[in-house]
């Protein structure tokens, strides 16, 4: 009788132990799922109004020269082969890159090109005053390239600037040139908003979400571009591009290939609080991967 009771008690203990293990395991799985779900932050750039900026994708010229449009003409809206996508500004739908920084970078998608001359320039949109220009030689496989403005360039708040990324396919015939262009606008945020951003300096995904909320495209894109190689952050990058209808480019490479020198032509701006001395233009050879 004692043995039977002992055996029954042992079985009950085993059942209870297995039940406890199952419950703990289930809770652990739920906790991990909640943790993973909590880490992912949905980042979508808010809708923007059309303010008259040029199209993000410029119409192609006739075939010839570096012939960037041959493959691009075969692309479909759902095509994810970036070599088939035309030269395109990486910007919101209205093609205005808004930035808190005075010298934001410009992101452009290009098809594969080899040893091709590029002219990059920035002008004040209203007066057509040239703020900056430079030339460089570019070799790059299809993907997104980043052009950094030098620190000497200081865009003024609440002014519109036009940037142009001109691929010179044939120096003797400009009809072959391919042009991406868009607007730049430096926006102001309040001291309270700036403090919110600073408090999230160790949480870049949350910081990017905040910049998107404030309408700062450049800062949002810059943060997520730097984190996109991390699988845990790739989702936010994809969501950002999808929110501005650039989903074809979510898997495109991003290369900081076009860091231009501080010595190209930077005209003096009499309205600028920092006087800039013009220097002679120079050509720079830059190569991407």
CA max distance for the chain: 106
What does the pLDDT profile of the chain (289 residues) look like in tens digits? 545 555 555 555 555 645 554 444 443 333 333 333 334 567 999 999 999 999 998 765 444 456 555 444 444 444 555 556 789 999 999 999 999 999 999 999 998 888 888 999 999 999 999 999 999 888 877 899 999 999 999 999 989 999 999 999 888 888 878 899 999 999 999 999 999 999 999 999 999 999 999 999 999 999 999 999 888 889 999 999 999 999 999 999 999 875 555 545 555 443 433 333 332 333 333 334 4
pLDDT at 140: 75
Q: Give the strand order in the sheet containing 96-99.
A: 96-99, 178-186, 160-168, 113-124, 130-140, 283-287
* Distances, alpha carbon 226 to alpha carbons 25, 30, 159, 204, 229, in Å: 36, 30, 27, 10, 8
pLDDT at 139: 80
pLDDT at 174: 82
Residue ranges making up the domain that contains 24:
1-39
pLDDT at 216: 97
> Does residue 281 sit in the same domain as residue 149?
yes
With respect to residue 174, please indicate whether it lies within any of the assigned structural domains.
yes
Contact 179, 89 (CB under 8 A): no
With respect to residue 55, please indicate whether it lies within any of the assigned structural domains.
no
pLDDT at 12: 58
Contact 266, 278 (CB under 8 A): yes
> Does residue 281 sit in the same domain as residue 143?
yes
- Domain CATH number, residue 126: 2.60.40.2550
Q: Which helix (H) or strand (E) holds 107?
A: strand 106-110
With respect to residue 225, please indicate whether it lies within any of the assigned structural domains.
yes
> Does residue 104 sit in the same domain as residue 242?
yes
With respect to residue 54, please indicate whether it lies within any of the assigned structural domains.
no
pLDDT at 2: 47
> Does residue 272 sit in the same domain as residue 154?
yes
> Does residue 135 sit in the same domain as residue 34?
no
> Does residue 32 sit in the same domain as residue 79?
no
Cα-only R_g, the chain: 26
> Does residue 15 sit in the same domain as residue 133?
no
> Does residue 136 sit in the same domain as residue 271?
yes
Strands 113-124 and 160-168, by their bridges, are antiparallel
Strands 96-99 and 130-140, by their bridges, are unpaired
> Does residue 99 sit in the same domain as residue 226?
yes
With respect to residue 248, please indicate whether it lies within any of the assigned structural domains.
yes
With respect to residue 18, please indicate whether it lies within any of the assigned structural domains.
yes
> Does residue 80 sit in the same domain as residue 19?
no
With respect to residue 129, please indicate whether it lies within any of the assigned structural domains.
yes
With respect to residue 58, please indicate whether it lies within any of the assigned structural domains.
no
> Does residue 34 sit in the same domain as residue 74?
no
What's the total number of domains in the chain?
Answer: 2
> Does residue 5 sit in the same domain as residue 86?
no
- Give the separation between CA 86 and CA 90, rounded to whole angstroms: 12
Nearest to 119 by CA among 176, 181, 167, 161: 167
């Amino acid at each position: 009788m004692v043995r039977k009771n002992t055996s029954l008690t042992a079985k009950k203990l085993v059942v209870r132990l297995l039940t406890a293990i199952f419950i703990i395991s289930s809770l652990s799985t739920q906790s991990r799922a909640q943790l993973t779900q909590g880490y992912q932050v949905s980042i979508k750039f808010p809708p923007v109004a059309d303010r008259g900026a040029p199209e993000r994708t410029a119409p192609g010229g006739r075939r010839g020269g570096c012939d960037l449009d041959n493959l691009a003409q075969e692309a479909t809206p759902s095509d994810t082969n970036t070599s088939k996508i035309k030269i395109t500004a990486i910007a919101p739908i209205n093609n205005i890159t808004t930035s808190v920084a005075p010298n934001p970078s410009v992101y452009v998608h290009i098809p594969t090109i080899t040893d091709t001359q590029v002219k990059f320039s920035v002008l004040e949109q209203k007066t057509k005053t040239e703020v900056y220009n430079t030339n460089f030689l570019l070799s790059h496989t299809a993907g997104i390239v980043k052009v950094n403005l030098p620190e000497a360039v200081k865009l003024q708040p609440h002014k519109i600037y036009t940037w142009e990324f001109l691929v010179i396919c044939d120096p003797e015939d400009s009809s072959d040139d391919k042009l991406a262009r868009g607007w730049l606008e430096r926006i102001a945020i309040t001291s309270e908003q700036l403090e919110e951003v600073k408090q999230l300096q160790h949480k870049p995904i949350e910081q990017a979400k905040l910049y998107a909320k404030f309408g700062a495209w450049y800062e949002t894109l810059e943060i997520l571009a730097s984190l996109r190689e991390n699988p845990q952050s790739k989702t936010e990058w994809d969501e950002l591009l999808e929110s501005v209808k650039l989903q074809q480019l979510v898997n495109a490479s991003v290369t900081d290939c076009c860091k231009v020198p501080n010595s190209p032509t930077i005209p003096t701006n009499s309205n600028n609080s920092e006087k800039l001395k013009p220097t002679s233009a120079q050509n720079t050879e830059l190569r991407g991967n």
